[in-house]
Structure 1
């Protein structure tokens, strides 16, 4: 077989980039944990010695870390002064937890998910699922850390107002179920924004529900927020004005059955808001950085999770608008539209 040297070199460069990114991921987590990014944003430009002093860390480690970050474009280096800094854009990505561009949690998700690689490799051979609950505890915190900035930036100001009549209903007092709530970030944000409404957060993962209860107490909304350990097909309650599912519908082993249950628990004019990862409908339209990240995380977390359940219809994290539409209409809904979108998410309004 004759190799095309130019094409081979392109593949080598791609692999080298990926190898660097893989080695870079734990350094992003370390930089966040030790306050290196935050300190650079607040006190930079700094030398490696200055950053080490500010963060009570060791200069030789910090020096190597800074050079790695600068080589990856995450930190800005000035060779004339031998100082490092963050541009406003780099700070939004790495140092500001309230920024919609904050990405540190995504690195935590990837690292946490990869820790059960041996179990996942075996699942490839057997076809068995790997439940969400089988991951190490760090993953659950990482997912909250990853998605909360998106919800904080968009949920109350953009996504709910894009739904027909929902904002007004919650302003005057509505009933809301947050299905697949995880640590309750979305539930608490809605409760803070709509003090006249009541909320129920639902998740099958009991440790996440325990964390969600703590978040509600800390936010001072526990008097209007309950949490229930249940699946999307079995949760209690009825006559909800809004059911919301954030980045979790594609994790369900029977999304059609879940849709049918949501339909039963909504009021006749209620709304189901489904927030999903951004995806186009055709595979070839998702062969890009967003698709690559989503397909990869879907292989590590979402698809094994659904296969661990009924596995009636395993959507995966890049099901696209049509894949979601088909599942919810098969579950009994008749009205479906894309209400909003961001570079990372699609927001669907579903009505009976």
Structure 2
């Protein structure tokens, strides 16, 4: 989780400076809000909205925000990615959840709509090669197991049911993101377990 402010956001083009000056950020698929609150604590000039379709998680996130004294700069709302009505975000973040969505390309299309001109979308996904042979390593095997049990069934249970899974790879993810209308996708950084893509 510390990678968010120590390495991932600094790897994005000009985003850290924007957040330090004051930006509007959406954290989509925020769960109980830890990623949102971590960013809010690191960038006190910026405002943050966490979105998740799971209402019990959002209720927990609101309690966490109050406990951390961040209620004035952080909000949490119940909404699926494609149903977010608010716009004008300078940064949208998505941590390990695009591959779980039934319609990731539809999500990408909507992320482009809610971004302000010049805004960036940071997509953090499990590290993976572009074909199964590249993923035959300890981390890849673990992710394939998790994908079979959790990620793929979750996606298939939603509209479209793309079933990207936890081993989609940069090539396939970039194709999905560009299909949503983004002109550029680049791997900003990576670690042993995640890749960080920047879309504009």
Normalising by structure 2, report the TM-score.
0.98
Q: 2:75 aligns with which of 220, 226, 237?
A: 226
Q: Which residue of 2 aligns with 1:18?
A: none
| Alpha-carbon offset, residue 233 of structure 1 | 0.5
Q: 1:207 aligns with which of 36, 50, 56?
A: 56
Q: Secondary structure at 1:233's aligned position in 2?
A: helix
| Alpha-carbon offset, residue 256 of structure 1 | 0.5
Higher helix share: 1
For the Cα contact (< 8 Å) 1:176–1:197, is it kept in 2? yes
Q: Which residue of 1 aligns with 2:33?
A: 184
CA distance in 1, matches of 2:53, 2:187: 27
CA distance in 1, matches of 2:117, 2:128: 30
For the Cα contact (< 8 Å) 2:101–2:161, is it kept in 1? no
| 1:66-81 correspondence to structure 2 within 5 Å | none
Structure 2 unaligned segments of length 5 or more: list them.
none
Q: Which residue of 2 aligns with 1:138?
A: none
Q: 2:165 aligns with which of 313, 316, 319?
A: 316
CA distance in 2, matches of 1:297, 1:214: 30
CA distance in 2, matches of 1:312, 1:326: 16
2:197 pairs with 1:197? no
Q: Which residue of 1 aligns with 2:98?
A: 249
2:146 pairs with 1:297? yes
For the Cα contact (< 8 Å) 2:26–2:89, is it kept in 1? yes
For the Cα contact (< 8 Å) 1:228–1:235, is it kept in 2? no
Q: Secondary structure at 1:241's aligned position in 2?
A: strand
| Alpha-carbon offset, residue 283 of structure 1 | 0.4
For the Cα contact (< 8 Å) 1:175–1:242, is it kept in 2? yes
| 1:71-150 correspondence to structure 2 within 5 Å | none
| Alpha-carbon offset, residue 312 of structure 1 | 4.2
Q: Which residue of 2 aligns with 1:330?
A: 179
Q: Which residue of 1 aligns with 2:16?
A: 167
**Structure 1 stretch 218-227 or stretch 263-272: which is displaced more?**
218-227
Normalising by structure 1, report the TM-score.
0.56
For the Cα contact (< 8 Å) 2:120–2:198, is it kept in 1? yes
CA distance in 2, matches of 1:312, 1:292: 23
| Greater gyration radius | 1
Q: For this pair of structures, how many residues does the alignment match?
A: 200
